[in-house]
Amino acid sequence: MNRKIIQRPRRLRANPAIRAMVRETELNARDFIYPLFVRHGTGRTAIGSMPGVSQLSVEESVREAETAAKAGVNAVILFGIPKEKDPIGVENFSEDGIVQQAIRAIKKEIPEMVVVTDVCLCEYTDHGHCGILNTGEHFQKSLPDGYVLNDPTLDVLAKVAVSHAQCGADMVAPSGMMDGMVAAIRDGLDGAGYENLPIMSYAVKYASSFYGPFRDAAEGVPKFGDRKSHQMDSANVREALREAALDVEEGADMLMVKPALAYLDVIRVVKDAYPELPMVAYNVSGEYAMIKAAAANGWIDEEKVVIETLTAMKRAGADLIITYHALDAAGWLK
């Protein structure tokens, strides 16, 4: 058979060296932000739904951060599990809160590590929601019982962010999806003399079923209802652009889309709209758990699937990826 084929894309896939020359997307350990769950006490407590991930004491969080640094991962994000919970999460902005302790300890031992802190109420409140509820002294007749109140929550978020800054955090990451949260935190930080501290905003956070294992890890399961009054509907894309625009106007330095894998189209849309800002994708706990479970059953090759998954997030437009695979992936990339 004599066919005249001029264009043969396979010429550039002939061997590993040629494929490497024309590869369009590169994945690097510096792209990763490694989540750490910090709790009071000693040692490590394994999280059943997230194999390989543990709740860590302050001492163990330092060791894990050191391991990350040796692997080439330059940033961690801290989530705290408080000693006691209450309606507004007082430990969240306490000088001796668990995240505050971890920030100081990590920055003392590994000053070059970028320490990002999650700023939200859900892990610290006794009801498990991301803000102050419409009850008691805050009750508003126009709103239903238990509704997450927006504006009173902003004052608490600003206090939390300032508290983290005072302990040496390099960046704060508000995740509660409250209207005006970035502006409130910016005002709080600037007023306390931290005008140079950047904000990585969870600008586009969906009310997703992929968060289940995280709620086990952070012990932040809502005691009632859900978070659909503040987190986004998974069917919406235009709304993502509106949320991102508001956060940019309010002073966000980085934008995030969460979750990542089922929302690659959203990452691309937001990145195209705001190419000047670093885009962060959160490779969430459910995505992690699915790969771990399939790999444990021998159904997939974990290493290849993780690298392919993280590469897809970068290809979609992410500059940085928060991922529980960070240490393994960094090792595989060497």
- The answer to whether 230 and 130 are in contact (CB under 8 A) is yes
- The answer to whether 289 and 233 are in contact (CB under 8 A) is no
Side chain identity, residue 100:
Q
Could you confirm whether 83 is annotated as catalytic?
no
| Dist. CA 52–CA 324, nearest whole Å | 9
Q: Exactly one of 205, 271, 292, 314 is catalytic; which is it?
A: 205
Q: In this structure, what token pair is assigned to residue 29?
A: 């350990």
Q: How are beta strands 75-81 and 171-174 bridged, if at all?
A: unpaired
| Dist. CA 256–CA 203, nearest whole Å | 5
How far apart, in Å, are the Cα atoms of 240 and each of 122, 201, 243? 22, 13, 5
Q: Exactly one of 85, 159, 258, 314 is catalytic; which is it?
A: 258
| Dist. CA 18–CA 36, nearest whole Å | 38
Side chain identity, residue 215:
R
Nearest to 323 by CA among 310, 305, 333, 314: 310
Side chain identity, residue 185:
I
The sign of the CA dihedral 56, 57, 59, 62 is: positive
Residue 218: half-sphere exposure toward Cβ, Cα within 13 Å: 28
The sign of the CA dihedral 33, 39, 44, 46 is: negative
> 232 has which bridge partners?
206
The dihedrals phi and psi of 193, each to the nearest 5 degrees, come to 90, 15
Could you confirm whether 258 is annotated as catalytic?
yes
Chain centroid to CA 99: how far? 15
Catalytic residue numbers, as ranges: 205, 258
